[in-house]
Structure 1
């Protein structure tokens, strides 16, 4: 007995299967999206400070409205002093 034959026999399972399929595909898509982003730390040994390579001109959110980036003077001074 195949999966689709079981669904045709027990029609009350169709909404459950549809919702679970949608949730699993959404979770998988979000996981792939998260690993693609530069601000997610997956391997700290090869890149211990990944936030240093983030391009400030590229939005890091799903929806960005009127984002403008300006460097903070104090932070730039500290960064130059520690390097």
Structure 2
């Protein structure tokens, strides 16, 4: 309640409070969005090599423009040889 009384006394702080609240909400939402992505590793004990499960056809960026994925033959040969 003390914060609201301060904002009602000094009305010039209202835009600052709104901007700071919006920035904090944006940062929190982006952090939660990033945690859902497969390239973020939280628990290495359950899945020590999570990059093996990444589907190359699914874009991993926020914005993907004209991205085409082509497999690298040398990498595919090395992957087949190591299994």
Give TM-score, length-normalised by structure 2. 0.89
Secondary structure of the residue that 1:65 maps to in structure 2? coil
Alignment-derived partner of residue 10 in structure 1 = 10
1:1-83 aligned within 5 A: 1-83=1-83
Offset of 1:4 from its aligned partner? Answer: 2.3
CA separation in 2, counterparts of 1:2 and 1:8? 10
RMSD: 1.3
Structure 1, unaligned stretches of length 5 or more? none
- Offset from partner CA, 1:29-82 (integer Å, 9 cap, x none): 011100110111111111111111111111111111111111111001111111
TM-score by length of 1: 0.89
Deviant stretches of 4+, over 6 Å: none
In structure 1, C-alpha distance between the alignment counterparts of 2:10 and 2:47, rounded to whole Å? 51
